[in-house]
A and B are shown apart, each in its own frame.
Chain A
Amino acid sequence: MEKVLMKGNEAIGAAAIKAGCRYFFGYPITPQNEVPEYMAKELPKHGGVFLQAESEVAAINMVYGAAGAGARVMTSSSSPGLALKQEGLTYIAACELPCLVVNVVRGGPGLGGIQPAQSDYYQATRGGGNGDYKLIVLAPASLQELTDMVQEAFDLADYYRNPVMVLADGMIGQMMEPVAFGEIPQWTLPEKNWATTGTDGDRAPNVINSLFLAPEELEALNIRLQAKYQTIKANETRCEIYQLEDAEIVFTAYGTTARIVKNAIKILKAEGIKAGLIRPMTLWPFPEAAYQALPKTVKCILSVEMSCGQMVDDVRLAVESKVPVAFYGRSGGMIPTVDDIVAEAKQLLGR
């Protein structure tokens, strides 16, 4: 497979088009601007539509409409832009519509900065919108994984009729790495017989709606959604387990941070300290089981994030107090260094 050198943001666009996405609605924001730039240039060549909406709120509602009509559709944005899209996302989740949402995360809170961060973990996994809903959240650590995840995201979304989020960061969006666009396995997907494509007078109309004034009806929707979320949890939880055997300390990190942690593990190993890594590849569903099957040698877990401590909450819930869980993070666009991580680990182990 021939490799090409691409920017992460361009790889997102290329992968989406390869996966059959033909509609993109968005609004500019750094550091994800190369996604709409690429889509504006390339989508029309594939018979698709690129539209720069008047706001993020408009863009996500255009996604809602296109998804309701059964189209493969996506939007991308960065942190404050995603904050604006939360209302649309809960509607899309309630109506069980498939779409891809990419967040190239930058530092917050507020308008924040434009450098890489992971401080939208809560926003992505808890939902900034109202009600009991979940997005499937994928967290790539390399541009190859980003490319593969973006392609698969559309199948996941269609299969489960659920919005999927790819949670990247400014570093993944801006950097260039070799990527290969291989044939990824295609899912067998159900027909979209729920889509609002017009009845031609032949059938009862399909209705897409998230307003249920009768509590019995609304609870029935919630029961159905929760059952679906349980199925997703059982089938789609993914993580990478790295050098866990005999480990004294287990790092846990996702995305960019996991790459830096792997370099720290190598340095610790050279100094005789055995360290491993649990890298969640899905942030929801969270790979809880990985934290319950730790080797007896593990003295502590260290969650490393580009945030002030968000994923560490899920780690603590998963570990159920069996092992101490510590946190190390940088924020605001600062990136943890290998040396910082090594020092933190040694201090925890009393070395």
Chain B
Amino acid sequence: MLNEKIICAGFGGQGVMSMGMLITYAGMLEGKQVSWLPSYGVEMRGGTANCNVIVAEDAIGAPTVSNDATTAMVMNLPSLKKFENDLLKGGKLFINSSLIDVKSSREDIDVYYIPANEIAVSIGSGKVANLVMLGAYVAATNVVSIDSVKKALRKVFGASKEKMMPLNEAALQRGCDLVG
């Protein structure tokens, strides 16, 4: 039974919160149980940011993901070090290889190396690196569909960002193509 527990992590400004929100919204649109929980605390500018997302069939208990993650998406090196060991055996780890030049030390999980920033820059803006990662995640897991994520883009970013949609969707697609 579906019980996907995700950690999205990076430094502030990399879009890790919205990456998690997009999965959450997409899951909601598909009628699944969803929750999103940000880390909140004594964070500082340029420090690390992360959120926990759960997409499940059954009602969600605690919305926290601790040492029971099924997926981790890490956008920078401190996040890899912090969360790599929170993945369950057989879990999926997505590493932003544009900014992280080390390999995962785990051998009991599936690791995907995604050059998210390079791809994002090549299609027009480094700002969509998070969506490249998200595209790869969707293609590798099928927890939510790419169509639902595209609908979620409009809900999360609002109508005023409509002009960004072609770039956003291109970023998602490039991420998908990398894995699928």
Contact = CB atoms under 8 A, between A and B. Distances in A.
Interface of A: 3, 5, 30-31, 114-115, 170-171, 174-178, 256, 259-264, 266, 335, 337-338
Contacts of B41: 114-115
Interface of B: 21, 24-25, 28, 34-38, 40-42, 58-64, 66, 155
9 contacts: A31-B40, A114-B42, A115-B41, A171-B64, A178-B28, A259-B61, A263-B61, A338-B61, A338-B62
Contacts of B63: 171, 175, 177
A325 B61 CA distance: 24
Given A174-B40, A259-B59, A260-B62, 16 more contacts: A5-B21, A5-B24, A5-B155, A30-B40, A31-B40, A114-B41, A114-B42, A170-B40, A171-B37, A171-B64, A175-B35, A176-B24, A176-B35, A177-B34, A335-B62, A337-B66
Contacts of A260: 61-62
Nearest to A263: B61
A106 to B, nearest CB: 10
A174 B37 contact: yes
Contact of B59 (A115, A174, A262): A262
A31 B63 CA distance: 16
A178 B34 contact: yes
Contacts of A175: 35-37, 63
A31 B42 CA distance: 11
Given A5-B21, A5-B25, A5-B28, A259 B60 contact: yes
Contact of B28 (A3, A115, A174): A3
Give the 7 A-B residue pairs with the shortest CB-CB distance, closest first: A263-B61, A176-B36, A175-B37, A259-B61, A260-B62, A260-B61, A178-B28
B7 to A, nearest CB: 15
A263 B63 CA distance: 12
Contacts of B36: 5, 175-177
Nearest to A259: B61
Contacts of A5: 21, 24-25, 28, 34, 36, 155
B62 A262 contact: no
Contacts of B37: 171, 174-176
Nearest to A256: B62
Contacts of A171: 37, 62-64
Contacts of A266: 58
A103 B25 CA distance: 27
